[in-house]
Amino acid sequence: MRARERRLGTLSEPDFSKDIIAIVGVGLIGGSLGLAFRRAGIGKRIIGVSRTETVDRAKEQGAIDEGFAYDDLENGIADADYVFLCTPISRILELLPRCLAAAKSGCVVTDVGSTKRALVEAAGGHGRSDVSFIGGHPMAGSEWKGVDAADPFLFQNAIYVLTPGVGAEREPVERMISMITRIGAHAMEMDPVTHDRVAAAISHLPQMMATALVSLVGNMNEKDGLPLKMAAGGFRDMTRIASSPFEMWRDICKTNAAPIKDTIDAYLVALSALRDRIDKDALESDFAYANEVRDRIPRDSKGFLNPLHELLLVVEDKPGVIANVASSLADVEINIRDIEVLKVREGEGGSLRFGFGQADERERASQTLTALGYTVLSR
């Protein structure tokens, strides 16, 4: 099945304001969903199923209206129109059968796990033709954990993959697409095997590469302490994800082991070919191809498929630059969709990349900032 991006506007818009939403595991993703639903007017009541301390924090933050313990999960989700399973993947696998059995007729059960095949398979054949399971993966997150890190804007501009189970009816899938679009995300439908194969290449392999590279340099560093002392921005940038907590990755690796191994094998072949060309002129074509492919990556950091309208701003390195630019644009009601700091060196300055939703916003931003004396480059 080909992956497709779906947008609101092709659908008659459902009304979610009377629905009951249950979030099982109110952590970073679950809490962020609760807050995002609240902002979007989705859900008459948002119910959390989590440990008591988490439920209390989530209520304080306004991510849920009421809470239940895991022991009481069946009561917690009994009236829910939508159940979002937001625990680590291994725990989703444990709780999924209970949710599917206890869900009311017509309920949509979904999850947010970072791998999809194992979960969609586990939901297959659940024997409830009146309950739909639709796998989900919001491709947004942070290195923080728990409900305290929840963010109502986490899903804005993020790709949100949906992997409906085999034979899933269209109507609940369309409703899910509509709901996701309302919280600012971009729904993409694909089959779970494709999701896991692509995720292995763009997410899981980079994690393994970062872990291996930092371990290699760490071992070299043990001798004389020089590598880490000399490690500059490039090394830091490329290895940021080596700081990821293992808890989440344990489950990802266990439930997507074969695609990750295949991708590592393919990478080793590519690296070995590069090794053979390291002192040959042919190496230039490897760089040329990689440069060209990198340029084709959608520039929104959350992977928004529709590229944003961008401009580059050449700035001095001094405190308050971003705040000044942002408030100047806010004064003329221009909404910044994305900001990236590019190569700003201490004392030297550098450039900032701003992304806007519309071409005319970029044009107005360019005029505003040029008039304020900034050097603006559009691209």
Binding residues for ligand NAP (CB under 6 A): 25, 27-30, 50-51, 54, 86-89, 91, 112-114, 137-138, 141, 145-146, 248
CB of 116 to ligand NAP, least distance (A): 10
Shortest Å distance, C-beta 195 to ligand NAP: 12
Strands 349-356 and 338-345, sheet pairing: antiparallel
In the bound state with ligand NAP, the residue whose beta carbon lies nearer, of 107 and 252, is: 252
Which residue, 52 or 370, is less far from ligand NAP as judged by CB?
Answer: 52
Distances, alpha carbon 234 to alpha carbons 82, 201, 230, 342, in Å: 43, 21, 11, 12
Nearest CA among 189, 203, 201 for reference residue 264 = 201
Calpha distance 222→319 (Å, rounded): 37
The nearer residue to ligand NAP, 91 or 299, going by C-beta atoms, is 91
Closest to 178 in 3D by CA, of 3, 9, 306: 9
The residues near 191 (Cβ < 8 Å, ≥ 6 apart) are 1, 163
Write down the least CB distance from residue 322 to ligand NAP, Å. Answer: 24
Q: CB 375 → ligand NAP: shortest distance, Å?
A: 36
Give the DSSP letter string of 6-44. Answer: E-TTSSPPP--TT-EEEEES-SHHHHHHHHHHHHHT--S
238, with CB counted inside 10 A (0-12, 13-18, 19+), is middle
**185: Cα within 13 Å, side-chain hemisphere:** 28
Which C-beta is closer to ligand NAP: that of 38 or that of 309?
Answer: 38
**Sequence-ordered list of residues with C-beta below 8 angstroms from that of 91, at least 6 positions apart, any chain:** 25
| Residue 92 C-beta: closest distance to ligand NAP, Å | 6
Residue closer to ligand NAP by CB (options 161, 311) is 161
In whole angstroms, how close is the CB of 141 to ligand NAP at the nearest point? 2
Nearer to ligand NAP, 160 or 354 (CB): 160
Nearest approach, Cβ of residue 89 and ligand NAP (Å): 5
Q: Could you write out the three-class secondary structure of 115-137?
A: CCHHHHHHHCCCCCCCCEEEEEE
